[in-house]
Amino acid sequence: MVTLQADRLIDFVAQVFERAGSSKEEARRIGCYLTTANLTGHDSHGVIRVPVYIRWRNAGAVHPDRVVDVPVDLPSLAVVD
């Protein structure tokens, strides 16, 4: 089993997404989210998702650095435009 420090894993994932077209900030955010998912026990939503997200990006289903408008953001409901 390979063991990595969390910061190194975040950096690695960020590099993958930056090379796939995300801004440095977005890539870092993705790295943090995916690594944190693993660290909190949600492995199915962690770094194992990287190949899937990159595949979706390459297929045109995901577009890096998109900004959405969220006119409603409540604890149990969000409207995303």
31-73: pLDDT as tens digits: 999 999 999 999 999 999 999 999 999 999 999 999 999 999 9
Of the chain, the end-to-end C-alpha distance in Å amounts to 43
Enter the pTM of the model.
0.84
At 74, is the secondary structure helix, strand, or coil? Answer: strand
Q: Which residue has the tokens 């998912």?
A: 37
